């Protein structure tokens, strides 16, 4: 066997240490899947409040070191990126610090990686520094960078006056580099200076090269198209598995799906919904942000709540949605449960207890909710976009095809029409049972995706310097 490929994963959030969204799930489970493929992996993330390990070092998987970059002034705060007033004003300073220290740490611990795999804008300055300050540094001579876009909507935009903080010359503030409509765009730095780019589904990789989904960076991505790859995220079935889940009321697997409905009863009980086994229970777990399709949902919700269904929401985010859903809770006390918080335990119970899981996203790079629901035999109701389109196929009862329901046009009308279609099928019990069986057929574990990353790393290290 050859020498182990040495990889560093840089991420601003990693499960189980800190999480605001799917990035943390990926950054927590991909390293473990890579380790299983025989790679030597370490992870570097900021040391947020409540993270407390001797020598700023923890272990995950079999033997993966997770290093924490410490700076209490920057990271010992309640939020990861902001608070109720919005993003922290010094986010550029915070992630410059993280990026520079991550590079220094590698030298300090003498870990010479062949691949530094960065994720989203918070880590995007690492490839920029490697291709500027560190070009002649022998330590990084055989090191290549891979950059994954988890969400093109978050770019790390800052006023141009802040550019000097980055510590690079003005030739790094041009149309070809970090300048973006008169501002500093940190993500763009990652897109321009990394050796290889990936994003989290094949479909999103195509979409982001178009003006509709490119968030102003479609030109850059078209330019780098040859090195841009789509690799769908997996989910960690050790964490997300109804057969072993320690939180839910009753474990079940594809052979005894009937036991799923004990979880439905439990969910109805703990969320104050009426105990009604024959009503379809629709769940939604999400950041309350425009991206997630909440504007069309708010326009369709009254009609949805007036159908013979129950509805449960778990989410936090924009104030306007908190206000809106509080009203909905008051209006439909019998068949609606609104939970405006981040609650990992309740999330498991919702995935297990619901019949349907709704994701009407405007755009969705990969989406984990639909993959988790499929594992929990909960039928996903999704919009035909990004990774949702790659993983959910519209149910065709007569063709024996599909694992969920899909709508295309981004409007409240088409969303409602899809929900009605799903509810109609639900009441055809034998057809619904057939569909539920189909949900658990596909395998979205990390193994296959991790293999693709390994192949890509192996191609990447062969690229000329
Ligand atoms: P994104 O990363 O855009 O937020 P994903 O679908 O990729 O969306 O990942 C979201 C992850 O966060 C899922 O694991 C989901 O269950 C979880 N999640 C989102 N909101 C909450 C919440 N309020 N409470 C618990 N888990 C949540």
Distance CA(109)–CA(115), nearest Å, equals: 16
Does the Cβ of 367 fall within 6 Å of ligand 1?
yes
Question: Containing H/E element for 295?
Answer: helix 294-305
Using the mean position of ligand 1's atoms as its centre, give its distance from the Cα of residue 344 in Å.
Answer: 9
**Residues paired with residue 83 on neighbouring β-strands, in sequence order:** 86
Q: What pLDDT, on a 0 to 100 scale, did the predictor assign at position 399? A: 86
Which tokens belong to 59?
A: 């272990």
If 0-12 CB within 10 Å is exposed, 13-18 middle and 19+ buried, where does residue 291 land? middle
Nearest CA to ligand 1 atom 22: 342
Going by CA atoms, what residue is nearest to atom 26 of ligand 1? 344
Ligand 1 atom nearest to 370, measured from its CA: 6
Return the pLDDT at 397.
86
Model pLDDT, residue 418: 98
What's residue 97's pLDDT? 98
Q: Are strands 379-383 and 228-230 parallel, antiparallel or unpaired?
A: unpaired
Ligand 1: nearest atom to the Cα of 314: 23
Residue of 96, 18, 106, 29 whose CA lies nearest to 67 = 106
Measured from the CB, is residue 134 less than 6 Å from ligand 1? no
Query: For residue 272, what are its two tokens?
Result: 């104050």
Please work out whether the CB of residue 243 comes within 6 Å of at least one atom of ligand 1: no
Q: Mean pLDDT throughout 363-377?
A: 97
Distance of CA 376 to the CA centre of its chain: 18
Residue 106 CB less than 6 A away from ligand 1: no
Give the DSSP H/E element, type plus range, for residue 26: helix 22-36
Percentage, residues of the chain above pLDDT 90: 97
Indicate whether 59 pLDDT > 90: yes
- pLDDT over threshold 60, residue 158: yes
Q: What average pLDDT score do residues 324-346 get?
A: 97
State in Å: Cα 366 to ligand 1 middle.
12
Find the distance separating the first CA and the last CA of the chain, reported in whole Å.
25
Asked whether the predicted pLDDT for residue 198 surpasses 60, the reply is yes
Task: For residues 97 and 107, give the distance between their C-alpha atoms in angstroms, rounded to a whole number.
Answer: 16
Tell me the pTM: 0.94
Q: Ligand 1 pocket: which of 122, 314, 369, 449 to mutate (most atoms <8 Å of CB)?
A: 369
Model pLDDT, residue 465: 81
Is the pLDDT assigned to residue 43 strictly greater than 80?
yes
Centre of ligand 1 from the C-alpha of residue 23, in Å: 9
Please give the distance, rounded to the nearest whole angstrom, from the Cα atom of residue 219 to the centre of ligand 1.
30
Q: What is the pLDDT of residues 308-321, one digit of tens each?
A: 999 999 999 999 99
293 CB within 6 A, ligand 1 = no
Ligand 1 centroid–CA 22 distance in Å is 6
Between the CA of 110 and the centroid of ligand 1 the distance, in Å, is 35
By C-alpha distance, which of 237, 262, 242, 261 is closest to 252? 242
- Where does the pLDDT of residue 85 fall: very low under 50, low under 70, confident under 90, or very high at 90 and above? confident
What value does the mean pLDDT take over residues 378-382?
98
Rounded Cα distance, 460 and 197, in Å: 10
pLDDT for 390-437, tens place per residue? 999 999 988 889 999 999 999 999 999 999 999 999 999 999 999 999
Probe target for ligand 1 pocket from 29, 289, 353, 368, with the most ligand atoms within 8 Å of CB: 368
pLDDT of residue 2: 61
Rg (CA), the chain: 23
CA distance 87 to 79: 9
Query: What pairs with residue 391 in β-bridges?
Result: none
Q: For 223-268, how does the pLDDT look when each residue is reduced to its tens digit (9 = 90+)?
A: 999 999 999 999 989 999 999 999 999 999 999 999 999 999 999 9
Supply 15's token pair.
């499960």
Give the distance (Å) from ligand 1 centre to CA of residue 284: 10
Ligand 1 pocket check for 20: Cβ under 6 Å? no
Q: Is 369 in the pocket of ligand 1 (CB under 6 A)?
A: yes
Atom of ligand 1 nearest to the CA of 366: 7
Ligand 1, atom 19, residue with closest C-alpha: 286
Residue 22 — pLDDT band, cuts 50, 70, 90? confident
What average pLDDT is seen over the chain?
Answer: 97
């Amino acid at each position: 066997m050859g020498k182990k490929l040495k990889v560093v994963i840089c991420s601003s959030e990693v499960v189980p240490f800190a999480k605001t969204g799917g990035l943390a799930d990926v950054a927590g489970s991909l390293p473990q899947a890579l380790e299983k493929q025989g790679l030597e992996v370490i992870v570097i993330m900021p040391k947020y409040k409540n993270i407390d390990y001797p020598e700023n070092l923890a272990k995950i998987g079999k033997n993966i070191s997770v290093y924490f970059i410490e700076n209490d002034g920057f990271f010992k705060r309640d939020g990861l990126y902001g608070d109720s007033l919005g993003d922290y004003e010094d986010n550029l300073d915070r992630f410059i610090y993280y990026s520079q220290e991550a590079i220094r740490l590698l030298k300090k611990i003498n870990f010479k990686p062949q691949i530094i795999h960065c994720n989203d804008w918070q880590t995007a300055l690492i490839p920029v520094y490697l291709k500027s300050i560190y070009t002649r540094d022998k330590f990084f001579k055989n090191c290549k960078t891979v950059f994954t876009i988890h969400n093109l909507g978050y770019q790390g935009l800052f006023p141009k006056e802040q550019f000097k903080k980055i510590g690079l010359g003005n030739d790094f503030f041009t149309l070809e580099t970090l300048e973006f409509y008169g501002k500093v765009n940190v993500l763009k730095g990652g897109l321009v200076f990394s050796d290889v780019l990936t994003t989290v589904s094949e479909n999103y990789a195509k979409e982001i090269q178009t003006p509709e989904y490119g968030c102003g960076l479609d030109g850059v991505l078209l330019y780098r198209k040859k090195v841009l790859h789509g690799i769908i995220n997996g989910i960690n079935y050790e964490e997300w598995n109804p057969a072993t889940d320690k939180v839910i009321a009753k474990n079940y697997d594809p052979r005894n799906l009937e036991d799923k409905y004990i979880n439905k009863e439990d969910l109805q009980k703990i969320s104050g919904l009426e105990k009604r086994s024959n009503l379809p229970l629709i769940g939604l777990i999400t950041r309350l942000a425009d991206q997630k399709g909440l504007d069309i949902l708010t326009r369709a919700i009254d009609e949805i709540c007036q159908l013979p269904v129950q509805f449960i929401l778990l989410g936090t985010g924009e104030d306007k949605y908190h206000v809106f859903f509080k009203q909905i809770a008051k209006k439909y006390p019998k068949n609606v449960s609104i939970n405006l918080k981040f609650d990992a335990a309740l999330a498991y119970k919702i995935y297990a207890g619901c019949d349907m899981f709704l994701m009407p996203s405007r755009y969705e790079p990969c989406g984990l909710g639909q993959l988790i629901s499929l594992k929990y035999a909960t039928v996903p109701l999704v919009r035909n976009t990004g990774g949702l389109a790659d993983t959910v196929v519209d149910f065709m009862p007569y063709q024996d095809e599909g694992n969920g329901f899909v709508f295309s046009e981004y409007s409240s009308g088409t969303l409602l029409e899809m929900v009605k279609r799903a509810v109609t099928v639900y009441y055809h019990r034998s057809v619904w049972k057939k569909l539920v069986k189909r949900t658990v057929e596909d395998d979205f574990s990390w193994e296959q995706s991790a293999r693709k990353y390994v192949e890509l790393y192996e191609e990447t290290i062969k690229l000329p310097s």
